[in-house]
Chains A and B, each alone.
Chain A
């Protein structure tokens, strides 16, 4: 079967050829062995049918018929052969198709597996990249944090240093002041009438007596407070046991120094003494005339400077009266009204102008602030148990008494807010060419001490909000991103701590602070920061 081999070779050659092409080639080769009559396998049957009847019709001889027979036989044989060949080719073809299909499938599988591998590798690489990036970023962040910590530490160190310096200066100043006061007293004794001196003496004596009796508790409180602050208070007094003081050491020292100053220099019963009621009234009247206009502020300031500088009233007393009267403006106004902002700033201007001329007055002002509102220190007194929560405790933290009854917490908080607002207005007031003895830097310190040492309570939240509302704009302007960090501390630590305690009034305090941060109120100027220049009321009339 050479033919078959040949054929197979052929078919193998044209692997991709179509089935039609194959059969054609096969027929063409097969033609070599067949007789001439057979032109193509396609026409084979037709020829067969046409030849046979024609030949049967004619009469032929034997030889011819044998030939015909043989021819026929041969024909059949060839036909058989061709048929066999065809079948084998068909099978072969089928096999080939199977082979290609399987090859295709293999190919496809292979491609797929390659793809899968690629994908896996890709993911792997991406993960690697992300890991590296993450590592890098966290390193950068750590670096930033370290940097900011260093900056913060530096700020704090600076503040401490400044505080120390100020303390030194204050000690010096105090010495000077005491000397001056002594000199003043001597000079007055020499030149002024005996009456005044005597009256003062009696006043002093009465004060001492009263101080001995009345203020025993107060002094003990102070002692305990100091003791608690330095954290060495095993020997606590029984009458205010169970009260814990939250405050910065420096703040407490400054406070007690100021209190001591006032107690030493100003007789206790000053409000009762007839002698000073004239000055009292004069200063009070002057302050009650104060309105938030430039004219009014200027006029009142010069009037007050004259009153404080005047010869007829001892300086410490007039300073004390001034401080007392200007801060008690909170008591006579509706501090919730929006006009209070104007007035607070007006007071700030007057305080700055006056203390610039009469530097002593600032200590009295601060002493008075600290007396009426402990949060201006800043300081917080915390009763540890129900027994400690006595009337004395409430009075200690600044509750006012009226008709033998303590005021409500609501009104207490209103006053806390008002005092802190006034304080905040004072520290941020700026006048060109006037040095502020207790300026914005002190406000920054206050804020830092406040957040460092005071717990989050309703009262502290109210105080903090009031302070930020008034001074936030100025602090933001001056300290920029550092101030933002403080706000961040508030939102991260102070607010959550406040929310922990969750009760009704706290919710409002939380909301206020939250809104302050969310609405970026520190970008808005506080109301009334600028005094009004002209009034129509003044111009129009008569």
Chain B
């Protein structure tokens, strides 16, 4: 099943670009072919247009009206997706959201609120799997920014019964930020459905309330972190008997031994004991081999979609490495080269390791009048949330952060990521954290947009780390030759589409 599901997947992703490029051509042909059929509709349109003109005093411009409808290239979308349908999975992949038999309220939310016109690849393939009885479990791996959140949020929203005021879906996230982000997406998408959502995250210090005084949950969907969810379940505040669907976001992290495996297993056991036949969905952009093994053991009878690690790096996001002699030169490069020439840079995330570098970068860029947000340890929870929100609302240009935000942080305007420090596994000196690296890259180039990643390498250790990363993903990262030469950066940025 895994192979079967994965192979059409691969094909579709590879085909996507070619097909998009070939779109105009195909469409022109399609148009020519359909010209005869469209001509019949035009006289009527014409009359309507005349009606419009009849309302005005301006002389009618339209006498010899068009014999054909205006060019509409969108037919090509169909052909492009049909190619996927022929892939031969047991489920029909959905070319439009309408195909999924969603409620009208949900469709309205998707189109009006979210502005989605059609499902992305991963959505087209996984949504039928999620929504078709017998509601099999699903493990899905897909590229960063390909729309996984929409998959499971939509899955939860459409499987929940809005009439019953009892928890029916649970989503577990590794961090509170992610839980809040997912909740925000869910509230927007489900705006017209009347479905409510509770956020199970540790309360801020100031509005702490003992769990025993809390009212039992009546919202249909609960999104939260594992610790709080367990607390709510054990204190019987969260009834699990009617849970129909259980989602793990960033599932590899939730099921990793050094992550939240024990918590996750406990919740899964609890829910499956009280609500038999609960559907489990695991989503992530990364699944390393060990987690993959474990997952296939836990989810025995389910659909699986995996992507090979060599194909995980995003095509549209160009990666570069720059050799830099010392720390202060890093800031110089950011300020005088990358920011100077990157005319089309939207928002930027700079990943740093220490508080001191955060401060330095922040001050240097603020002096240049770039509006920056920084996340650092001394902030309290609510301040941190507000600062992230400001960045998300597009009020600040640069976010300087540690790895807390690497995973899942969705900000559509980010098209440049700078690795001020390379991601290194905790407790080691030169062992790169591949997943974190991939997630960082994934912050740029959301939803197939162009983007760039600059890795600032300083010293031998960084070089070793970079080499290991290149080997792991089998993707050679081009180097910007001379950190002092403007032309080199110009060329790199131009290539990435940021100039």
A394 vs chain B, min Cβ distance (A): 7
B342 touches A497 (CB 8 A): no
Partner of A455, one of B23, B45, B57: B45
B67 touches A542 (CB 8 A): no
Chain A residues near B53: list those with CB within 8 A: 452-453
Q: Can you sample 5 A-B contacts with CB below 8 Å?
A: A291-B371, A336-B115, A406-B24, A535-B371, A542-B359
B117 touches A508 (CB 8 A): yes
CB within 8 Å of B: which A282-308 residues = 284-285, 288-289, 291-293, 296, 299
- On whether A325 and B343 interact (CB within 8 A), knowing A246-B61, A410-B74, A500-B45, the answer reads yes
A453 touches B61 (CB 8 A): yes
Chain B residues near A292: list those with CB within 8 A: 394-395
Chain A residues near B71: list those with CB within 8 A: 383, 389, 393-394
In the bound assembly, the distance between CA atoms of A292 and B394 in angstroms comes to 7
Mark interface residues in B152-167 (1 if CB within 8 Å of A CB, else 0): 0000000000000000
In the bound assembly, the distance between CA atoms of A408 and B412 in angstroms comes to 20
Chain A interface size band reads: 35 or more
B112 touches A342 (CB 8 A): no
| Nearest neighbor of B375 in chain A, beta-carbon distance | A537
| Nearest neighbor of B115 in chain A, beta-carbon distance | A336
Q: Is B52 an interface residue (CB 8 A)?
A: yes
The 7 A-B pairs of least Cβ separation, nearest first, read A339-B394, A409-B73, A332-B344, A497-B48, A406-B24, A337-B412, A537-B373
B340 touches A456 (CB 8 A): no
Partner of B68, one of A229, A385, A403: A385
Binds B, one of A99-107, A429-437, A488-496: A488-496
| Nearest neighbor of A405 in chain B, beta-carbon distance | B21
- On whether A289 and B397 interact (CB within 8 A), knowing A334-B346, A456-B49, A496-B48, the answer reads yes
B375 vs chain A, min Cβ distance (A): 10
B343 touches A536 (CB 8 A): no
Binding site for B on A (CB under 8 A): 152-153, 156-157, 229, 231, 244, 246-248, 281, 284-285, 288-289, 291-293, 296, 299, 325, 328, 331-334, 336-337, 339-340, 342-343, 380, 382-386, 389, 391, 393-394, 399, 403, 405-410, 412, 448, 451-453, 455-459, 489, 492-494, 496-497, 500-506, 508, 511-512, 515, 532, 535-538, 540-542
A493 touches B55 (CB 8 A): yes
| Nearest neighbor of B389 in chain A, beta-carbon distance | A536
Partner of B67, one of A384, A394, A403: A384
16 new A-B pairs (CB below 8 Å) besides A288-B344, A394-B24? Answer: A231-B63, A293-B371, A325-B343, A382-B66, A383-B68, A389-B71, A405-B24, A410-B117, A452-B53, A457-B70, A458-B70, A493-B55, A500-B41, A537-B371, A541-B374, A542-B362
A227 vs chain B, min Cβ distance (A): 13
- On whether A537 and B78 interact (CB within 8 A), knowing A337-B413, A408-B24, A457-B72, the answer reads no
Chain B interface size band reads: 35 or more
Among B28, B31, B339, residue most surrounded by chain A Cβ atoms (within 10 Å): B28
Chain A residues near B362: list those with CB within 8 A: 541-542
In the bound assembly, the distance between CA atoms of A296 and B345 in angstroms comes to 17
B371 touches A538 (CB 8 A): yes
Q: Is B396 an interface residue (CB 8 A)?
A: yes
Partner of B446, one of A248, A288, A334, A458: A334
